[in-house]
Each structure stands twice: as C-alpha cells, then as structure tokens.
C-alpha cells in the first residue's frame, strides 16, 4: 500500500454544510472508492476550512484517481461537491488534488 495525502480548502460559508454531508456520504460513493483501491481514507479539517486528506492506495495516487474517475457516481459526487471548495475555479476536486510528498513516517 502507498500512503497518500492531499490538501484542499473548503469555503468558510460552506464549512458546516460540508461537515454535515460527510456524516452521510452516499453509500454508492463509498463502494466506488473501495472498488477504486482507496483504503483507510480520512479527512481532517480546521476551523478555517483547511482540509487534509489521507488514504492508502493499492497501487498509486494516480491509479486510484484514475480508477475512481471511471465510476459514474464519482462524477455526480464531484459535481455536487465542487461549489464547496476555494481555489479550484469550480472544477471537480478530484481533478485538482496534488499529492503531498511523504516526508516522515513512524510505524
């Protein structure tokens, strides 16, 4: 497994709604992520909307994103969530993710 991390920024006026939506992520979306090789996926958020994501990929960040991008439910989820993010110009978040370099890991 490859550990993967990324950052995004949630708009301040959408922060509480974003948190509520993630209490009940669509079951079809959860299934699609698992099918695409996303494991141990977590999101962490600060009060200012800074979002940190982490997951373990079966192969690679790119392979996981590519596989998820082939799932129709992902396209619907990304369109639904696009207005929540700053700095991506309304694009789908999964097209705007930049993998962070793993600098240190304590096992």
- 35-67 tens-digit pLDDT: 999 999 999 999 999 999 999 999 999 999 999
Catalytic residue among 22, 39, 92, 105: 22
The pLDDT tens digits for 66-86 are 999 999 999 999 999 999 999
In the annotation, is 22 catalytic? Answer: yes
CA distances, 5 to each of 16, 26, 47, 76 (Å): 23, 22, 19, 23
pLDDT tier at 88, thresholds 50, 70, 90: confident
Reported CATH class of domain 2-95? alpha beta
Gap between the Cα atoms of 28 and 74, Å rounded: 9
Q: Please state the domain extents for the chain.
A: 2-95
Whether the per-residue pLDDT at 90 is higher than 80: the answer is no
């Amino acid at each position: 497994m490859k550990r993967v991390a990324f950052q995004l920024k949630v708009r301040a006026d959408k922060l509480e709604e974003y948190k509520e939506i993630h209490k009940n992520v669509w079951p079809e979306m959860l299934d699609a992520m698992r099918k695409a090789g996303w494991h141990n996926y977590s999101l962490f958020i600060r009060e200012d909307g800074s979002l940190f994501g982490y997951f373990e990929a079966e192969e690679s960040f790119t392979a996981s994103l590519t596989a998820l991008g082939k799932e129709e439910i992902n396209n619907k989820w990304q369109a639904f969530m696009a207005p929540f993010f700053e700095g991506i110009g309304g694009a789908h978040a999964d097209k705007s993710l930049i993998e962070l370099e793993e600098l240190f890991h304590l096992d």
